[in-house]
Every structure is written in structure tokens, then in C-alpha cells.
Structure 1
Amino acid sequence: MPVRGTAPFATFLIIGPTCFFLGILFALFPYDYHVLWTSPIAALGADPSLDPRAPFFDLQEAHLKFLHASPPLISRILHIVIGTGLLGFLMKLYKPSEANMLFDGASLALYMCGIAVYIANLVKGMRTVTSGAYGGKVLPKGESFVAKVADGVDADFIGREDSLRVLAASDTILALVLVGVLILQAGQWYAQRKEAEEIAAMDKAREERKAAGKEGKKTK
């Protein structure tokens, strides 16, 4: 039985999109792992002057280009899911209680931070990757960083690796923000459940005292 005041449907509208976005970030994690978190071991016989992370930068760049070139339906579904989460917050914060103001207010702040990271870092970053405008320069038509790395030619553009690391770090920040939303929603459920149990215990004790008082009057 749901705890009174938790608005289970509105909570579902918040938790569902949050878990959906965490699933997307988990799918991106294999591309971000070697770029941000660990240094891959160079293969035997490889040129020590080459960065062992270079193939993983290429994989991440190609994947981001593929995502950015996805059909408009994909981005529309993504934005609908974002709006669904905001709808859940609006439903829970309509005539809010003290618990709603504390937990849902903080959750909404984190959710809006996630949206800001998505717009300012991820969307802008994918546009930069697609255009090849690292360091404010656009790659000439018909050229790609993947081909230049494969040919061993130094592309005279700066900021490629740093830009890709920023995108990987943004994924991590966004994941932490979304986990914070889930923790706050779970904390609200637990706090309201304990409050309901305490109120039920107080009501039961009050009823027992009333029953004991009535029994005492009958025995007199």
C-alpha cells in the first residue's frame, strides 16, 4: 500500500525517465572508459610515440557522430521523456507538503542541472564533433581525424582529445546527478513511510488508552 502523500504515479513519472537516462549513459560508458578513466596498455611492438588511447578517441568520436546524425524521431523521443520527468515534478510540487518542498525541490534542482549539462555540454559537444570544429576550426571537407590518425598525419587542430574528454566527463557528471535524484526520491519514500508508521503507532496507543479508560469506567 503506498504511503500517504507520496503521489506514486507522479513518482513513477520521475523515476522512469531518470532510469531511462541512466541506461543511455551506461551504454555510453564503454566509449568513455578508456578515454577518461584508465590508460590502455600499448600493444606489443606498437610505436611507443603513439598514444595508446588514440583508437578509443576515434571510437568515441565515430559513435558521437553517429548519435548526432540519428533521425529526428530519436531526439523527439528523448525530449518527450525529459518533459515527462518535468511533468512528474510539477504534479508532486502542486500544493506541496514540507517533505515535497525538501526532497522534490532538491530533486528538481538536480534534474534541471542535468538538463543544463545536456544542453550546454552534450548537445554542443556533439555538434562540435560532427563539424570537426575543435579549437574553433572546421575540418576541411573530405578529411577526417580518423583518416589522419590512420595515415600517421598530424592534424593541425587543437582540442580534439580535450573536447572528447569533456564529453566523457559530462556523461559522468550527468550520471551522478541522476543517481542523486533517485536517492532523494528513495529518501522521501523512506521518510514518509517512517512518519506514517509513527502516526499509526500513536493512533494505536491513543485507541488503547481510550479502550482502557472505558474498561476502567465499566468496572466501577
Structure 2
Amino acid sequence: MGANTFATFLIIGPTCFFLGMLFSSFPYDYNVLWTTPDDPMHYFKVLEDHIKFLHASPPIISRILHIVIGTGVLGFLAKLYKASESNLLFDGASLVLYMAGITIYITNIVKGFRVVTAGVYGNVEAVGDVEAGDYINREDTLRVFAASNTILALVLVGVLVLQAGQWYALNKEEAEIKQMEKEDEEKKNKGKKKQ
């Protein structure tokens, strides 16, 4: 049980770390996705500047993030090694969500960092002989980036919910086993007293 608890920590820690990062971006994303201010271009500019700032951060920042993401994968591998039925159900579903989160991160967020920093969205001349319909404009690119952060946050919350569900199910099972053992012991004691 101790190794399983440590592996759970290796999953929950990185998930919460990543959620914290996404939460720090939420003020930028919220205004782009859900408000209709008088000057919406201001919020697009603020989000764009924020993305450029994050993308220009020192390499150690992205390396730490990738190590943390890898730690979560390591936690799943540890829990699924010689897995019980509970591990296969809860951890299997959690791993699917975690990998979906990694996919969203790589395909939408990392790509969004590169596109926004390069400023090539909607700029057909910068790309070459591609039709204008193949590229989305600046505002839509920033909305997709903000929506990807929100979707990723929901996926990671799903990982936490499944891990909490597994913890609850295991504790409930242990309590039921102890109760059954207690009842068996009481029956044995009553049987001995009758003799």
C-alpha cells in the first residue's frame, strides 16, 4: 500500500502543479473567452504579450515543466505495474486523461506559443502559396489557445477526481473487510461461548 500511495503522490503532485500554471493564465483566458468588453482588442493584446513573455522565458522553465510532466507519467507506470482491478479501472482512465492532456499541451499550447511568437497567424504572405482559408486569424488563434488551457484544466481536474475516487473506493473496501472480519470474529467468539 505504501508504494501505491507514493505513486499516487507522483500523479497528484504534477497534476496540481500543471493546474496551478493554468490557473495563473486564467485571468488572461477568461477575458478572451467569456467577456465582451468595450475594447476587446486590449485583452487580445494582453494575452498575446503574456504568451510571448512565457515563450521567451529561460529554457530551465520549460525543462522543469517537462520533468514534472514526466514525473506524472512515472507515477502512472508505478501504479499500473502489477496492477489490481482497481488500479486498472481508475488509473487506466486517469492515464487516458493525462495523456489527452499531454496531447492538448503539445498540439495546441506549444504550437500556440510558436505561432503567436512568430506572428504568422492569418498572414498568408509569410507562409507562401497557401490559401487564406487554411489559416485562422489572430483573434481566433488566441481564443483557441485560451480554450485549450481551459480544456486542459478540465482534463486535469478529471485526473484528480478519478484519483480521489480510487482513494475513496479503496478506503471503503478496507472498512468493509474490517467489518466482515470483526463480524466473523464475533461469530467465532459466540460459538466458543456456547461450547
Query: 1:142-181 alignment to 2 at 5 Å?
Result: 159-181=137-159
> Structure 2 counterpart of 1:128, which letter?
V
Give the Å deviation of 1:137: 3.9
SS at match of 1:95: coil
Query: In the alignment, is residue 54 of structure 1 matched against residue 51 of structure 2?
Result: no
Query: 1:130-209 alignment to 2 at 5 Å?
Result: 130-135=117-122, 137=124, 159-209=137-187
RMSD over aligned Cα, in angstroms?
Answer: 1.6
SS at match of 2:191: helix
Query: 1:33-182 alignment to 2 at 5 Å?
Result: 33-40=30-37, 42=38, 52-135=39-122, 137=124, 159-182=137-160
State the alpha-carbon separation in 2 of the partners of residues 181 and 189 from structure 1. 12
Q: Which runs of 5+ in 2 are unaligned?
A: 127-134
SS at match of 1:7: helix
Q: Radius of gyration: which is bigger? A: 1
TM-score by length of 2: 0.92
Query: In the alignment, is residue 32 of structure 1 matched against residue 29 of structure 2?
Result: yes
SS at match of 1:133: coil
* Contact 1:6–1:189 (Cα < 8 Å) also in 2: no
State the alpha-carbon separation in 1 of the partners of residues 11 and 188 from structure 2. 43
SS at match of 2:122: helix
State the alpha-carbon separation in 2 of the partners of residues 12 and 138 from structure 1. 49
Identity %: 67
What per-residue deviation string (whole Å, max 9, x for no partner) do you get for residues 67-102 of structure 1? 111111011000000000001000100000000000
State the alpha-carbon separation in 2 of the partners of residues 207 and 39 from structure 1. 67
Give the Å deviation of 1:206: 0.4
Quick check: which one's helix share is greater?
A: 2
What does residue 18 of structure 2 align with?
Answer: 21
TM-score by length of 1: 0.82
Q: How many residues align?
A: 187
What does residue 8 of structure 2 align with?
Answer: 11
> Structure 2 counterpart of 1:114, which letter?
G
State the alpha-carbon separation in 2 of the partners of residues 131 and 75 from structure 1. 18
> Structure 2 counterpart of 1:17, which letter?
P
Closer, same or farther in 2 for the Cα pair 1:137/1:63, shift >3 Å? farther
Give the Å deviation of 1:158: 5.8
Closer, same or farther in 2 for the Cα pair 1:5/1:208, shift >3 Å? farther
* Contact 1:6–1:192 (Cα < 8 Å) also in 2: no
What does residue 143 of structure 1 align with?
Answer: none
State the alpha-carbon separation in 2 of the partners of residues 30 and 171 from structure 1. 11
